[in-house]
Structure 1
Amino acid sequence: MWDNLARYRIILGSQSPRRVELLRGLDLDFVQQPMPEIDESYPESLPLDEVALYIARQKATAYIPELSADDLLITADTVVLVEGCLLGKPASEEEAREMLSLLSGRRHRVLTGFCLWSRERREEGLCSTEVSFGQLSAADIDYYVSRYRPMDKAGSYGIQEWIGYRAIRSVEGSFYNVMGLPVHQIAERLTLF
């Protein structure tokens, strides 16, 4: 299927188990190489809908010195935009509860920026998905935060978990983007290598 990629060692520069799962779904051979700590700050003047791609580029840039001629690197970053606020990963359970309270009963956008970089070619993209949340009670939020792992998820939730079954009313766009990797766009870009 991926004959055009036979010469590459594909590296997923991510610690996310969901990105590993999603990339495996494309039947790609790849290695997961957790990245060093990356500064995920961004310029205050940067429009919020460009932050995810900016951070994905920062992650890719950290790998550049290590890339060999036969490496193809994939990095990504996901953020949530709601009511003019950008939500990344929560720093505490209390912040996770605050984020989920903010999302409750509202529509929001999930944005994932991604980079596919080799020494010879760079492909990048940004995927946006609209998600509508139903109302969540304080008990719903406490249940989710205490039983699941919101700390490693943008916006403090995983659509593929209990809260997705309980509260997601609609998704307009890529479901997999909300999980953290728009695999359809990744697949399209991989054909260009």
Structure 2
Amino acid sequence: MKIVLASQSPRRRELLEQMGLEFTTKSPEIDESAYTGPTAQDLVEILSREKALWVARGEDPETIVIGADTVVVSEGRILGKPHTPQEAEDMLLSLAGKDHLVCTGVTVCQGQRHTSFREITQVTFRALTREEVQDYVRTGEPMDKAGAYGIQGYGALLVEGIRGDYNNVVGLPVHRLGQALRDFGVDCLKLAACRP
């Protein structure tokens, strides 16, 4: 069965590989700024669905397409990917010493059938000095990540704790995605057990 990830995110690719899936990737060509939702949690679910359906339109109806979208929410404000190093620095300083939420929406679709869900993880940053933040920004790591940090990289040095799914903060809630895929006939553990 063909599986397509509607994303070029290296983190999402790594997580699907960790799940033992064989897949291809295709970037959806949608204007994310054209979509709104009453809450950030609604918005990521809407965007994941639009991404998955956009890619699915160009695929065979039997193909399974996975779409996802992640945002960081702090004090009611959505933090996407920073556009400049200064914006990354400002985001990180606003997160320092506080809790924030990482919200990921995921959609799995096959032909006309689709299911969407969201996962929310609470992350706590330790107190940070401006110098630490500037050093982290100079690594380049924050520039392609929602909230300007990657928990799987140097960003782990900023995190004091998390409550919820770690993989969700990386980019995909693996346990919930595995359950959703099973409903579409893809059992990751069975596939792993059958490999030589």
Same fold (TM over 0.5): yes
> Residue 173 of structure 2 is aligned with which of 182, 185, 191?
182
> SS at 1:41's partner residue?
helix
Contiguous gaps of at least 5 residues in structure 2: 185-196
Once residues 137 and 49 of structure 1 are traced to their aligned partners in structure 2, the CA distance between those partners, rounded to angstroms, is 30
- The aligned residue for residue 11 of structure 1 is 4
Is 1:117 aligned to residue 117 of structure 2? no
More displaced 10-residue stretch of structure 1: 127-136 or 46-55: 46-55
Q: Could you list the per-position Cα deviations for residues 106-126 of structure 1 after superposition, in whole angstroms to 9, with x for gaps in the alignment?
A: 000000001101104212110
Equivalents in 2 of 1:122, 1:149: separation in Å? 33
Using the aligned pairs only, state the percent identity: 38
- Residue 49 of structure 1: which of 41, 44, 60 is its match? 41
Give the Cα separation in 1 of the matches to 2:36 and 2:48: 17
The C-alpha deviation readout for 1:63-98, integer Å capped at 9, x for no partner, is: 232021221100100001111101111111111111
CA contact (8 A) 2:6 2:25 kept: yes
Please name the residue that 1:92 is paired with: 84
What is the Cα-based RMSD across aligned positions, in Å? 1.4
TM-score of the superposition, structure 2-length normalised? 0.89
Aligned to 1:20: 13
Q: 2:74 & 2:168 partners in 1: Cα distance? A: 16
Task: Give CA deviations for 1:120-169 in whole Å, capped at 9, x if unaligned.
Answer: 421211000001000111111111111132121110000011121x2211
Deviation at 1:45, TM superposition (A): 5.8
Runs of 5+ unmatched residues, structure 1: 1-7
2:58 is aligned to 66
AA aligned to 2:172 is L
Separation of aligned partners in 2, 1:61 and 1:29: 20
Equivalenced residues, count: 184
| Structure 2 partner of 1:157 | 149
Determine if the alignment matches structure 1 residue 40 to structure 2 residue 52.
no
| Separation in structure 1 between the aligned mates of residue 175 and residue 31 of structure 2, nearest angstrom | 28
SS at match of 1:29: coil
- Cα pair 2:81 2:148 within 8 Å, conserved: yes
1:4 maps to which residue? none
